[in-house]
């Protein structure tokens, strides 16, 4: 994104001015209103929409397009209730429903968190020597493999962020 004429010198995110002096002439007023609407819609549309739902939603984020830095692609977010983590040296999968045959599919983030009620919470993937929790995607499933028994971690949320085109 380019810098905004109304923003601070180092501003690369959309920045809205606190006030604008509108013109009295109808044509100039119309041009100014169109410009201000463009500023507002750009600022609103590129913020992070903090909805973490179990269905695909636009995140508000955008990812650059290699070879064309002026074109950004919209990032989608979807969360999955994974339930309890598996036992030692065991794996668990759930379907993700994302079309891996889409040649434009790019994952931006694959992450999660799990809680052992009233005790602790851990991020996914989890990296501690000999106690790792692997997190990956196959063409059809979210795959978790535990090198230690984590069945006491009974609630796990996995979040995928990706672009489709």
Q: What is the pLDDT of residues 62-90, one digit of tens each?
A: 899 999 978 889 899 999 999 999 999 99
How many whole angstroms separate alpha carbon 133 and alpha carbon 82?
14
pLDDT of the residue at 48? 73
Domain ranges of the chain: 1-47, 57-163
Mean pLDDT value across residues 10-32:
71
| Strands lying side by side in the sheet with 133-137 | 90-95, 141-146, 133-137
Q: Which helix (H) or strand (E) holds 36?
A: helix 26-45
Question: For residue 105, what are its two tokens?
Answer: 């599919």
> What is the per-residue pLDDT for 45?
72
Reply yes or no on whether the pLDDT at 155 is more than 90: yes
> With bands split at pLDDT 50, 70 and 90, how would you rate the model's confidence at 145?
very high
CA angle 33, 36, 39 (to 5 degrees): 155
pTM of the predicted model as reported, rounded to 2 decimal places: 0.76
Of residues 27 and 71, more confidence is placed in: 71
Model confidence at 36: pLDDT above 80: yes
User: Using CA atoms, how far apart are residues 44 and 16, in angstroms rounded to an integer?
Assistant: 10
Q: Tell me what pLDDT residue 69 has.
A: 79
Residue 124, H or E segment: strand 120-124
Q: What's the pLDDT score for residue 24? A: 76
Query: Between 35 and 44, where is the model more confident?
Result: 35
26: left (phi over 0), alpha (psi -120 to 50) or beta: alpha
pLDDT category of residue 117 using cuts at 50, 70 and 90: very high
Q: Yes or no: say if 50 and 42 are a contact pair by the CB < 8 Å rule.
A: no
Give the Cα separation of 102 and 120 in Å (integer).
38
Place of tokens 């971690």: 153
Confidence of residue 8 (pLDDT cuts 50, 70, 90): very low
The bridge status of strand 133-137 relative to strand 141-146 is antiparallel
């Amino acid at each position: 994104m380019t810098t905004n004429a109304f923003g601070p010198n180092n501003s690369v995110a959309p920045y809205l001015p606190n006030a604008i002096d509108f013109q009295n002439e109808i044509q100039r007023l119309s041009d100014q209103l169109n410009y201000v609407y463009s500023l507002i819609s750009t600022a609103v549309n590129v913020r992070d929409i903090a909805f973490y739902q179990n269905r695909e939603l636009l995140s508000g984020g955008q990812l650059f397009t290699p070879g064309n830095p002026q074109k950004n692609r919209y990032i989608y977010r979807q969360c999955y209730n994974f339930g309890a983590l598996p036992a030692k040296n065991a794996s668990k999968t759930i379907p993700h429903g994302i079309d891996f045959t889409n040649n434009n599919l790019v994952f931006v983030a694959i992450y999660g968190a799990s809680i052992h009620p009233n005790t602790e919470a851990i991020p996914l993937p989890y990296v501690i020597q000999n106690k790792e929790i692997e997190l990956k995607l196959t063409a059809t499933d979210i795959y978790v493999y535990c090198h230690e028994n984590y069945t006491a971690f009974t609630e796990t949320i996995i979040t995928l962020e990706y672009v489709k085109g």
